[in-house]
Amino acid sequence: MSSRHEEDSAEQNGSEQPLGQQYDEEEDAIDELFNNENEDVEDEEGENLFGDDMERDYRPQPELDVYSESGLDDASDLDELSVSARQAAEREMAQRDQLLDEDALFYEEGDEEQRRRRRRRGVREEGAEEVEMEEEVPIDILENLRGRSTKDHVSDEAVAREIERRFKNFLRAFKDPETRKAKYLQAMSQMASENKESLEVDFRDLADENGEPNICYFLPEAPVQVLKILDKAATDVVLTIYPYYGRVCSEIKVRISHLPVEEDIRMLRQIHLNMLIKTSGVVTVATGILPQLSVVKYDCVACGYILGPFVQREDEEVKPSICPSCQGRGPFELNVENTVYHNYQRITIQESPNKVAPGRLPRSKDCILLGDLCDSCKPGDEIEVTGVYSNNFDGALNYKQGFPVFNTLIHANHITNKDKIACSQLTDEDVKAIRELSKDPHIAERIFASIAPSIYGHDINTGDINVLLCGDPGTAKSQFLRFAAHTAPRAVLTTGQGASAVGLTAYVQRHPVTREWTLEAGAMVLADKGVCLIDEFDKMSDQDRTSIHEAMEQQSISISKAGIVTSLHARCTVIAAANPIGGRYNPTRTFAENVDLTEPILSRFDVLCVIRDTVDPVEDERLAKFVVGNHIKLHPGRQDENDEENEEENDVDARTGVTLVPQDLLRKYILFARENCHPTLHEKHSDKLATVFAQMRKQSMATGSVAITVRHVESMIRLAEAHAKLHLRT
């Protein structure tokens, strides 16, 4: 058909040669020059399938010559097609062959030249469309490192293209195991509806057998290189679905969540440099959000030529050295209008108080937040940070040490607030065990006995209330506080002599790098949504005790210093221990007369506990036996010999006979009750509270003890809620 069209066009145009024929002749000349003709002939000849033993392929095999009758329609009689029906079917098949480009199969031998031209033209069109088929990609291109390091392997252009291609397929095809829907296509839709610039990818999905496990191997080893490839792939997929999303953000950032291995801050070493890590801590310092140069353009002062764009790196500034227009070496001015900025924030995280070993100082680490990660946390939040652990040059540190050393920091890629995921970490088995435990009618007695079981003869309630322990020396008040510090999900332990007003609340200081005033959190802010334990409370000065008035009553701390006016959350329970005046508690005096504390601070405690060391020969003998028995049980040699026997003895309280709750289950029980139980106060209970408050206020006025105020009504409500949460009631 094509040769016939060329003859017709030649007759119409006279002696003029058609453009298509000229184009084909030029192709033939190029093929003869580069010997492409022989390659086509070799490709078309193919493999010789006819050999000397060709007959063996046609020998009968009765066991294999059995055909299934399914799909055959031999039983029914079919009428012969009419001429019009046959012509319609042939037209339909011709159209289908034309769409599938199968009409070339019916060319005669004389059209062999035309077939080669069509093939070359199709290959040229595929190259113009940038189809990635120019070279054959080995199947094991990702797996075969060929002796190279991981970073060099990932930096290879072919490997980078393969990672990008596989990640695109992962984003399009991965399905949620529960809903069986495209998980990340839905995540992109949610991201676009909120105009965000980050796509969160679960590391567990990448490592799944239906994901891309090979990418999981390269990601922790070469995170900087791989994340750039993933960002580009995610941007291409999003722009394919939403072509105009580039107006919202120029690049989509891939955030990696649920990295399986978590490293403590104090365990970060040289081996972790330039690797993807996950660590956790409490935010102590957060700077303001500053604009950082991302893509920069410069103006040549001499000729006015605009240089750039220059993509800035995080470790150093990229500047032009020479002007390509006037060949001058400057000076160059920043082109403010054409320069692109992004948000920059620097935070400092400190080890969680419950992870610091006794006698050791908590370690801290600086983190860099960019883009939409800025302002995602505030001082006092406990967070999980996933990012690249890197180093940078610090001149002040080198001057101080006297030899070259580097400062280390974390370039954050993903941040999660641990307060939001604390309850989600409980497994189904944990929730089932907690609910079964709550059905025990003696659950309150079991929990009371499980709190500090190594202390004889004492019970204490803990909850979202403030408690003051006042008692004689040697009554294990400090031991109670330390047990609460180990049992509470989040606790900060301090002492009255070692804590100041700013150390308990918050303070401001100049940042050593930016030289701006920054806010640092104190003990009560770090214990937000937890427990703040203060030992030797009576040793604090009046000024220091006054500073925590607002925190105990309003659950917040207001700061107005150095131009910083803000309010920080301090939603924590305060459990304090104090010694009475004179060393011994005098029962003939009131509680206020026995402690060296002012009336305002006493009224902010919901529960005042008096712990007396009374003389009782029978109880003293039991106490001595209990202490000696604990020393025998906890001896390393005996514990190794009779471990199982000791565990059985520890399951039952020696004094009350109540079965104890394991400490791990007790910690999970408290966490579950605080996060999931929200009791409601009914109208019928308000009359009871009013009656009890009136009676307590009357007794207080008659005896002259601690004054009962309206704060104590709120204390009774909090105590009632804590008792309901103890039984998982709502």
The pLDDT of 300-327, averaged and rounded, is 79
In this predicted structure, the answer to whether residue 19 has a pLDDT above a threshold of 50 is no
**Element (DSSP H or E) covering residue 137:** none
pLDDT of residue 691: 82
Q: What confidence tens digit (pLDDT) does each residue in 21-70 have?
A: 554 555 555 555 444 444 444 444 445 555 555 556 666 677 666 666 66
pLDDT value of residue 3: 45
Mean pLDDT of 692-707: 74
Using DSSP's 3-state secondary structure scheme, residue 507 falls into: strand
pLDDT, tens digit, 9 for 90 and up, residues 229-253: 999 999 999 999 898 888 888 889 9
Q: Which of 265, 258, 259 is nearest to 283 (CA)?
A: 265
Residue range 662-666: average pLDDT? 76
pLDDT above 60 for 500: yes
**11: pLDDT confidence band, cut at 50, 70 and 90?**
very low
Helix (H, G, I), strand (E, B) or coil at 4: helix
CA–CA distance, 530 with 645 (Å, rounded to integer): 35
Domains identified in the chain and CATH numbers: 150-257 (3.30.1640.10), 265-421 (2.40.50.140), 677-730 (no CATH)
Query: How high is the pLDDT of residue 520?
Result: 74
Task: Say yes or no to pLDDT of 445 above 50.
Answer: yes
Residue reference for tokens 């005669």? 108
Angle at which helices 683-703 and 711-726 cross, to 10°: 130
More confident site: 155 or 42:
155
pLDDT band at 201 (very low <50, low <70, confident <90, very high): very high
Q: What is the number of other CB atoms lying within 10 angstroms of the CB of residue 429?
A: 8
Select, from the ranges 84-93, 392-401, 712-721, the one with the highest average predicted confidence (pLDDT).
84-93
Mean pLDDT over 555-576 rounds to 75
- Could you tell me if 312 and 341 are in contact, meaning their C-beta atoms sit under 8 angstroms apart? no
Split at pLDDT 50, 70, 90, the class of 562 is: low
Q: Dihedral through CA 589, CA 590, CA 594, CA 597, nearest 10?
A: -150
Burial class (CB in 10 A: 0-12, 13-18, 19+), 332: buried
Query: Mean pLDDT across the stretch 605-609?
Result: 81
Is the pLDDT at 690 greater than 90? The verdict is: no
Residue 592 has pLDDT above 50, yes or no: yes
Q: Highest mean pLDDT range out of 185-194, 521-530, 614-623?
A: 185-194
Is residue 647's pLDDT more than 50?
no
Tokens matching residue 661: 């709750």
The answer to whether the CB of 300 falls within 8 A of the CB of 308 is no
Mean pLDDT over the full length of the chain: 73
Q: Which of 37, 47, 45 is nearest to 117 (CA)?
A: 37
Helix (H) or strand (E) holding 370: strand 364-370
pTM score over 0.75: no
Is residue 278's pLDDT more than 90? yes
For residue 26, the model assigns a pLDDT of 55
* Phi/psi of residue 596, nearest 5 degrees: -95, 60
Residue 259 burial (10 A CB sphere; 0-12, 13-18, 19+) = buried
In a 3-state reduction of DSSP, which class is residue 349? strand
Model confidence at 297: pLDDT above 70: yes
Nearest to 668 by CA among 382, 460, 358, 437: 437
Average pLDDT over residues 594-621: 75
pLDDT at 233: 92
Using an 8 Å Cβ cutoff, are 686 and 634 in contact?
Answer: no
- pLDDT at residue 632, rounded to an integer: 65
Task: Express each pLDDT in 374-395 by its tens digit.
Answer: 888 888 788 899 999 988 766 5
CA atoms within 13 A on the CB side of 176: 10
pLDDT of residue 98: 64
DSSP E strands: which ranges in 62-161? none
Q: Is the pLDDT of residue 646 over 60?
A: no
- pLDDT at position 232 is 92
Query: Strand 275-286 relative to strand 517-521: parallel, antiparallel, unpaired?
Result: antiparallel
Q: How confident is the model at residue 276 (pLDDT cuts 50, 70, 90)?
A: very high
Share of the chain above pLDDT 90, in %: 7
pLDDT of residue 38: 45
What is the model's pLDDT at position 463? 37
pLDDT at 643 over 90: no
CA triplet 531, 536, 538: central angle to 5 degrees?
A: 110
Residue 523 has pLDDT above 50, yes or no: yes
pLDDT digits (tens, 9 = 90+) for 706-727: 667 777 777 778 888 887 887 8
Q: In what order do the strands lie in the sheet with 531-535?
A: 491-495, 531-535, 573-578, 467-471, 607-611
Res. 100 pLDDT band, cuts 50 70 90: low
Binned at pLDDT 50, 70 and 90, residue 458 comes out as: very low
Confidence check: pLDDT of 4 > 50 = no
State how far Cα 311 lies from the chain centre. Answer: 28
Does pLDDT of 299 surpass 90?
A: no
491 vs 366 pLDDT, higher one: 366
pLDDT tens profile 571-581: 788 888 888 88
Q: Over range 162-180, report the average pLDDT.
A: 88
